[in-house]
Amino acid sequence: MFRKRRQPTPNFRLPPPFQPITGERATLAIPGVYPYCAMVQVAAEDTHKNYVICRGFDIRINRFIDYESGNADNPGIPVAKPFSKRMIGAYEIAEIYPALLPLQSSNPSPVAVPWRVGQNPGVATDGQPASLNELVDELYTDEGILINWMLLDSAGTEFYKIEFTIDSVTGASPNKVATVDIIARPCGVTVVPEEIAGQVDVYDPSGCWLDEANAALVGRDGGAWYVLPDGEEDCEWRIDWLCCPSCP
């Protein structure tokens, strides 16, 4: 009696490699749970502009990838940030987000579309591409590792606004720097970018808001936005408004 052989690739008539342990042909499918969406947790300080180091269960290999600084056995998972949140300090340790495996064809056709990165989130020159003609290239870690995963997260603009009280001012206009105490922040946000011990540095390159003696500015209330200046690579806090001297 003969058993009919299973044909896993009937359209191509090309069976996969023989599996001697089970007596069957090895599967051509990627192991794991489909669709490829996982929950990841930020595991390291957010010091990279385009990605953050996380830990989580990699559903492709059915294994939890932990993170420990300097431990090659627990390397963590580099996960790309959404294009609109690609800045240092956007995420905090222990935050949990869904992550997915984005896919864009690696086929060079049509050549007029400069976005062919395969299973990779891609990276533009600065955050979101400035035009349809800007190259979206493959995204790598600082160590040259190709990144697969990307955080599934919104980029709400309220994240970037604070109210403050000036603690001290240094420098001369238009290069003054005000160190401020944060007195109000967006709902649901416990730590804003660049915050240290409840303070951030804010700038006034226009020279319009910090145009008084430094000592006279201490104690004044104001507001600031976290923005990316044209031609720069890093975001910074810039004054959006400032109370007049007569304000209590």
CA distance 210 to 174: 8
3-state secondary structure of 170: strand
- Mean pLDDT value across the chain: 84
CA distance 180 to 160: 15
What's the mean pLDDT in 183-197? 82
Is residue 243 over pLDDT 50? Answer: yes
Is residue 231 over pLDDT 90? Answer: no
Q: What percent of the chain clears pLDDT 70, i.e. is strictly above it?
A: 82
pLDDT-derived band of residue 245, with 50, 70 and 90 as boundaries? confident
Kindly compute the dihedral angle of the four CA atoms of residues 147, 77, 82, 115, in this order, to the nearest 10 degrees: 10
pTM over 0.75: no
In Å, how far are 56, 108, 142 from 41, measured between CA atoms?
A: 6, 34, 20
Is residue 189 over pLDDT 60? Answer: yes
pLDDT-derived band of residue 85, with 50, 70 and 90 as boundaries? confident
CA distance 66 to 1: 51
pLDDT-derived band of residue 12, with 50, 70 and 90 as boundaries? low
Token digits of residue 209 = 């808001």
Phi, psi values for residue 96, rounded to 5° = -115, 135
What's the mean pLDDT in 111-132? 88
What's the mean pLDDT in 104-112? 81
Is residue 25 over pLDDT 60? Answer: no
Q: Mean pLDDT lowest for which of 66-75, 127-136, 199-208?
A: 127-136
Domain ranges of the chain: 31-154, 157-242
Burial environment of residue 155 by CB neighbours within 10 A (0 to 12, 13 to 18, 19 or more): middle
When the candidates are 3.30.70, 2.40.50, 3.40.1000, 1.10.3470, the CATH number that belongs to 157-242 is 2.40.50
Is residue 157 over pLDDT 50? Answer: no
CA distance 151 to 39: 9
User: Quick one: pLDDT at residue 128?
Assistant: 83
CA distance 160 to 139: 25
pLDDT-derived band of residue 187, with 50, 70 and 90 as boundaries? confident
Q: Which residue did the predictor score with more confidence, 106 or 201?
A: 201
